[in-house]
Amino acid sequence: MTSTAVPATTTGGPGLPQERRLVTAIPGPRSQELLARKAAAVPSGVGVAVPVAVVAAGGGVVVDADGNSLVDLGSGIAVTSVGNAHPGVAAAVAAQAVAFTHTCFTIAAYDGYVEVAEALNRLTPGDHEKRTALFNSGAEAVENAVKIARKHTGKQAIVVFDHAYHGRTNLTMALTAKNQPYKSGFGPFAPEVYRVPMSYPFHDGLSGTEAAARAISQIEKQVGVENTAAVLIEPIQGEGGFVVPASGFLPAIAEWARTNDVVFIADEVQTGFARTGAMFASEHEGVVPDIVTTAKGIAGGLPLSAVTGRAEIMDSPHAGGIGGTYGGNPIACAAALAAIDAFEHDGLVERAQQIETVLFDALRTAQEQDPRIGDVRGRGAMIAMELVDPETGAPDPGLTGRIVRYAYEHGVIALTAGTYGNVVRFLPPLAIDDALLVEGVGIVLEGLATA
């Protein structure tokens, strides 16, 4: 059997040459070989967006088995914010792996879990007393946030928004808006989930106050505050297309929740940890959520997620009511502590702000020449362009698909998003350098010009 496994000598991390380098077509022969094996061994429901076999990654590049070096504008969907194979993360993982790999925290406790909890209690918005519980995936964090909010309020209804994405488990599929590809045929879905309109300035033209009034009226008329346990919202929607609500929308919803005994849950799985040019996206509008869910960027690529919230809410489940075999695994916690150290001490919040400037400059200049770029939006290193038919304003998912294909064929990983599939999103590692970032976005725009 042939194999494209990593040679033992392969080292990723920031020491990799920071360059876009194409030595074969994409996919090259070794990548094609892996994808053929994948087709025979892995179900087709598990897709692969960029047809490469990865052997190393670091800084702003991903290197494939054929020797191509691709500019990474995706970070594995906003995960490797500190950079892939970050040296501090790699060293912490290695050290923890030779000390102990697992106890199950609910069987026998260890320092790393508590230290991650302390760090999140300190870093998330608000100076009230907090508690943090750790899990494995973003979806699992969201599920637990819902469990805790229901237990605390004694109510059941969960309010979510148009274009929302919260995961692929049964409850989180119900919370997620988009049918294809996330939900189709996978029901029945969990009950007591109610969807209300989001603030989406490019589409609805409403102010934050108007959009909040629309959503609140719908909750009060169709659900009832006496039934509503929680409002769950991404402060900037991720999979939904980097939808930044109009200013004032989030504070108005949070304030309404506060006065109605409704738990306000911010899903910061994609927006958390410096990604948007603040440690958490809720900070941009001074919102202090009752509960924050985090994952992705938290641990530099290891699976870890968290629910952080007001102590009185978090402590409402009975002893033993919250748990799981792997939640807060010691290796993932060691990685998180190294990643959090980098977020706090390596200027990554400021770096995300600089990336915003570079991306907005490039995309807004392109938008002036090209009416197919209907909207450019986002914050920090979470920036997107929404593509439309200039005549009708209709979404153009076909064009979007051609652009990201052009990009990877020319050595740049770019991702799509959006309810209408017409958004190209930029989520570079915060470890990317400016030259590579400018080159990468340039290739994407070249794709737009030729598509």
- The least CB distance from residue 219 to ligand PLZ, in Å, is 21
- The least CB distance from residue 47 to ligand PLZ, in Å, is 9
- The least CB distance from residue 64 to ligand PLZ, in Å, is 21
Our CB check for ligand PLZ shows the closer of 146 and 362 to be 146
Distance between CA 354 and CA 434 in Å, rounded? 9
Q: Per the omega criterion (within 30 degrees of 0), is the bond before 87 cis?
A: no
Q: Are strands 382-387 and 423-426 parallel, antiparallel or unpaired?
A: antiparallel
- The least CB distance from residue 439 to ligand PLZ, in Å, is 26
- The least CB distance from residue 171 to ligand PLZ, in Å, is 12
Our CB check for ligand PLZ shows the closer of 238 and 245 to be 238
Our CB check for ligand PLZ shows the closer of 69 and 305 to be 305
Name the E strands within 311-393: 373-379, 382-387
Q: Are strands 228-233 and 157-161 parallel, antiparallel or unpaired?
A: parallel
Which ranges of 124-206 does DSSP label H, i.e. alpha helix? 138-153, 170-175, 201-204
Report which of 211, 203, 164 is spatially closest to residue 388, judged by C-alpha positions: 203
Our CB check for ligand PLZ shows the closer of 151 and 168 to be 168
- The least CB distance from residue 315 to ligand PLZ, in Å, is 24
Our CB check for ligand PLZ shows the closer of 384 and 443 to be 384
**DSSP state letters, 15-54:** TS--S-B-SS-SS-HHHHHHHHHHHHHS-TTS--SS---E
- The least CB distance from residue 180 to ligand PLZ, in Å, is 12
At residue 13, the 3 state secondary structure works out as coil
CA distances from 187 to 172, 179, 325 (A): 12, 11, 26
Q: Is 376 left (phi over 0), alpha (psi -120 to 50) or beta?
A: beta
Residue 356 structure tokens = 């915003």
At residue 280, the 3 state secondary structure works out as coil
Residues that bind ligand PLZ (CB under 6 A): 77, 137-139, 142, 165-168, 234, 238-239, 267, 269-270, 295
**DSSP state letters, 174-191:** HH----TTTTTT--PPPS
Our CB check for ligand PLZ shows the closer of 72 and 234 to be 234
Q: Which residue has the tokens 């007393």?
A: 129
Our CB check for ligand PLZ shows the closer of 66 and 239 to be 239
- The least CB distance from residue 2 to ligand PLZ, in Å, is 29
Q: Is 173 left (phi over 0), alpha (psi -120 to 50) or beta?
A: alpha
Check if the beta carbon of residue 276 is closer than 8 Å to that of residue 355: no
Our CB check for ligand PLZ shows the closer of 11 and 179 to be 179
Per-state percent for the chain, helix, strand, coil, to nearest 5: 40, 15, 45
Residue nearest to ligand PLZ according to CB distances in the complex: 138
Our CB check for ligand PLZ shows the closer of 165 and 406 to be 165
- The least CB distance from residue 88 to ligand PLZ, in Å, is 22
Our CB check for ligand PLZ shows the closer of 14 and 240 to be 240
What are the beta bridge partners of residue 132?
308
- The least CB distance from residue 57 to ligand PLZ, in Å, is 18
